[in-house]
Amino acid sequence: MENTILAHRQSLAEMRTELDGLDAALSVGAATKRSETISCALKVGTDSLYDLSALISGDFELTHDDGPLKVALDRLVATFDHITELADSQLAEVGRLHSDAIELRNAKLRPLQDKLDESKSEIEAQLTRNREAITATSNTVNVLQESVDTMNRAHRSLQDKLSEAERVHEGVNIAVSILIPIWGIVGLIDPNASPGAVFNLRNCVNEARDALHREKTALEKAGESLKSERQQQGELENQVSRLQAMLSEIIPLENQVTATVEKTDILQQAIIVVKQQLAVAAQRAAQLSNTVLITAHASSTKQEICTGILDIAEQVPLDFRNSNEMKLLLNELLSSYGGAVVPAAIESRANELLGVAAKYPSIEWHPTEVVTNS
């Protein structure tokens, strides 16, 4: 059982380490890094939209050989495809963390709790049996001790009688050995001092001594058994205590894992929303490129391209890290008309986006890792 308990402790330690790893992957620092990765890529994407806006500034007219426009559109499509791939990768990573957390709780932690309960019940049953054995052995020790005491007294009494008989026998033997046969005088003085009586007493003393020795041996063995059982009792109680301590760790640990499951679930939902926006942005970038370079080509107008740019910009998730680039893009888009009248639909949508971007103060930040698309 000791090896089993040690194995349980090792399993619990491994699960705690695994949970620490999950928590580290979901820490504020890790979440910030994931967010920065997308934000850095979105800055590149917004810059690509800005470059495209700059190309259609003024009196724009599409020609059959507009190399810079093709380069800008290709870069735009590639950039938003890359951003979508980043979101897919992050969603897969968080999904894996979510699955790992569920597996840790359902396939590892809860089965371990069942094993701990089973081991604890088994040891408690042993404790009950051992208590009963201690009671029985204690009774045996008491009975044997009383028996040894009684036999010890009887042995001493017989020893005293033998000593007295031998003393009388020896005295008589010396005094009358010349006059009368020893058997007669001894028998006349004390029948118990006769050679036959002394011989019998010696046999009784020897038998009592042997019986006392056997009883003492039995008492010693019973005492050793009692000591062993009490020692085992202490070990069993210690094992139960350790198992109970591990069980007391399970509940808060399971709560922590459940919190991790919930956190990854919320994070997945948030990434899915962003991913869907980015997927639409990538789709619209591809549609704009296809329309300008293939489908409509020379018939594409500046307003249609501006509309396509706004279609993409509206899908870009905004925060303080990319709001400034969005403002620059929209202002460039509006100013690209110069002195001409900006179409109402373009102006309205651009101003609405500017209002959204204005809610995020432009704060200088230094990302851990700048992600670019080459």
- Judge contact between 274 and 38, C-beta under 8 A: yes
Q: What pLDDT does residue 82 have?
A: 95
Report the distance separating Cα 363 and Cα 366, nearest Å. 10
- Beta strand spans in the chain (E): none
Q: Which amino acid is at 11?
A: S
Q: What pLDDT does residue 19 have?
A: 94
For the beta carbon of residue 315, count every other beta carbon within 10 angstroms.
19
Residue 211 — left, alpha, or beta (φ > 0 → left; ψ -120 to 50 → alpha)?
alpha
Q: Write down the residue that tokens 């006392």 correspond to.
A: 212
| Residues in contact with 267: Cβ distance below 8 Å, sequence separation at least 6, in sequence order | 26, 31, 94
Query: Which two three-digit tokens encode residue 28?
Result: 């504020």
Number of H helices, E strands in the chain: 9, 0
- DSSP annotation of 297: G
- Nearest to 127, CA basis, from 338, 119, 164: 119
Q: What pLDDT does residue 174 have?
A: 47
Report the distance separating Cα 258 and Cα 105, nearest Å. 7
Q: What pLDDT does residue 215 have?
A: 84
- Judge contact between 49 and 309, C-beta under 8 A: yes
- Judge contact between 312 and 281, C-beta under 8 A: yes
- Nearest to 77, CA basis, from 50, 54, 48: 48
Q: What pLDDT does residue 156 have?
A: 84
The CA-based angle 278-279-282, given to 5 degrees, is 85
- Judge contact between 250 and 113, C-beta under 8 A: yes
| Residues in contact with 68: Cβ distance below 8 Å, sequence separation at least 6, in sequence order | 55
Whether the pTM exceeds 0.85: the reply is no
The tens-digit pLDDT sequence of the chain (374 residues) is 789 999 999 999 999 999 999 999 988 888 888 888 888 899 999 999 999 999 888 877 766 567 888 999 999 999 999 999 999 999 999 999 999 999 999 999 999 999 999 999 999 999 999 999 999 999 999 998 998 898 888 878 877 777 777 676 555 554 445 455 544 544 444 555 556 667 787 788 888 788 888 988 988 999 999 999 999 999 999 999 999 999 999 999 999 999 999 999 999 999 999 999 999 999 999 999 998 888 766 667 889 999 999 999 999 998 888 889 999 999 999 998 888 899 999 999 999 999 999 998 766 655 554 444 43
φ/ψ (deg, to 5) at 66: -110, 80
Report the distance separating Cα 158 and Cα 123, nearest Å. 50
Rounded to the nearest 10°, the torsion over CA 270, 273, 279, 285 is -110
Report the distance separating Cα 153 and Cα 76, nearest Å. 110
Q: What is the largest CA-CA distance in the chain?
A: 168
